[in-house]
Structure 1
Amino acid sequence: MELKLINDQGVEASRLQAPDLLFGREYNEALVHQVLVAYQANARSGNRAQKDRGDVRHTTKKPWRQKGTGRARAGMSSSPIWRGGGRVFPSSPSENFSHKLNRKMYRAGMAAILSQLVREDRLAVVAGFSIEAPKTKLFAAKIKSMGYDSVLVITDELEENLFLASRNLPNVLVVEVQQADPVSLVRFAKVLVTQGALAKFEEILG
């Protein structure tokens, strides 16, 4: 598989050979969906809590007598069918949202996403990506000169200047290869990978 190698102006300079195992895989929609759902589910934290009928602050007095009122029987105001009562199956902070995903499935899903990005002409390779100073203005100008509005930049080593200059831009994300996730790959309109990061991708996902 050949990838597009661009220069600092975003113009194609040459073509770069890449392994078909990583960038020439067929798109498996079911597998990609499973990888995306598992990644987002595993990022969730069980921090919500609700009260059951034993946790609600209430009186144990019977609201009215058992018979003779014409109303339904009621024993306690903490009943789940009462307004202000407890929940039947309350959420707890110990709730586990994680999804199990095999390592081979994750690698295959990431390869399928990268291959689809190449087919849609949304992925490009650049020899190097850096700026002189940690200035957002400089970074934004560089991205604009390359013709990008929404871009995920994947580098082999995250420089401090890049990190500081890009963190205030809403449609730009700069990460190392190890932090590249399937959700970000799908979310951004364009993906820019450095040559050093490309070699690390082959080591991790190959």
Structure 2
Amino acid sequence: MEIKLIDKNGKPAKAGLAVSETTFGREFNEALVHQVVVAYQANARTATRAQLTRAEVTHTTKKPWNQKGTGRARAGMSSSTIWRGGGRAFPNTPDENFSHKINRKAYRAGVRSILSELVRQERLVAVEEFAVDTPKTKQLVEKIKNLGYNEGVLVLVDQFDENLYLSARNLPHVLVLEAQYVDPVSLVRFPQVLATTGAVKKLEEILA
């Protein structure tokens, strides 16, 4: 199969880029993609919240009022979880684990499913080369506009380009990633994906 290929000026090439059907021609598995995206986001979470238990809040062990005769509900101490200022029954702790386990084969299959759907929706386009001469954000913005992209775009390259990285880091709707570090959340998040021919070959090697 082939995917759309453009040159550095944004003009379509005479022939598309031949790619592997195994990586870019799979059926869309919505359940698997959902599992992969949720697992990736969960594994990126860190526990930063700490709440106090009944034993940790400032309280007194004195009974607030008599057990009987007041007409009010029975109360033992002010640290009760139903009292204002009391402790939490199931508090969040700094060592809380949010990670989701997902098999390597399932993860790769999910990424292949996303890439295949991007190709079907014509949101994934290959470019012969993509680089900037100097680390200038303005130059990168002009280059992206010349290629016909006005919305958010994910740029996949085969190897690290410092000028490209420095030019894109201040742009909220542009992200430059090496193909080996591509993740399902970024692929789903951006409306358009622009990959160099080298990055496409790298994806095929990694996801084979």
TM-score range, shorter chain: over 0.9
TM-score, structure 2 normalization: 0.97
Q: How many equivalent residue pairs?
A: 206
Matching residue's letter, 2:84 = R
Distance 2:46 2:188 in 1: 23
How far off its partner does 1:144 sit?
Answer: 0.6
Residue 10 of structure 1 corresponds to 10
> 1 CA distance for matches of 2:76 and 2:96?
30
C-alpha displacement at 1:162, in angstroms? 0.5
Separation of aligned partners in 2, 1:9 and 1:26:
32
Which amino acid counterpart does residue 143 of structure 2 have in structure 1? Answer: K
The corresponding residue for 1:163 is 165
Instruction: Identify the residue that residue 78 of structure 2 maps to in structure 1.
Output: 77
**1:58 maps to amino acid:** H
Measure how far apart 1:126 and its partner are.
0.9
Unpaired runs of 5+ in structure 1? none
Query: Residue 110 of structure 2 corresponds to which residue in structure 1?
Result: 109
- Which residue is 1:66 aligned to? 67
Matched with 2:87 is 86
Measure, in 1, the Cα distance between the counterparts of 2:105 and 2:11: 35
CA distance in 1, matches of 2:172, 2:58: 44
Matches within 5 A, 1:25-174: 25-148=26-149, 149-174=151-176
Moved more, 65-74 or 17-26: 65-74
Stretch moving more, 61-70 or 74-83: 61-70
Deviations 1:135-160 (A, max 9, x none): 00000000011011210000011211
Q: Provide the C-alpha distance between the structure 2 equivalents of 1:36 and 1:173, rounded to a whole number of angstroms.
A: 18
* 1:102, distance to aligned residue in structure 2 (A): 0.5
Q: Kindly provide the amino acid, as one letter, of the partner of residue 197 in structure 2.
A: Q
Q: CA RMSD in A?
A: 0.9
Cα offset for 1:9? 2.4
Distance 1:23 1:62 in 2: 68
Amino acid at match of 1:164: L
Judge which range, 1-10 or 130-139, deviates more. 1-10
Cα deviations across residues 28-75 of structure 1 (Å, max 9, x unaligned)? 010001001100011111111111111111122211122211111111
Shift of residue 202 of structure 1? 1.1
Segments of 5+ residues of structure 2 without an aligned counterpart are: none
- State the partner residue of 1:179: 181
Aligned mates of 1:122, 1:41 — CA distance in 2: 26
- CA deviations on 1:185-204 (whole Å, 9 max, x unpaired) are 01101101111111111111
Take 1:72 and 1:119, find their aligned partners in 2: how far apart are those partners?
64
Identity of aligned residues (%): 64
Shift of 1:94: 1.1
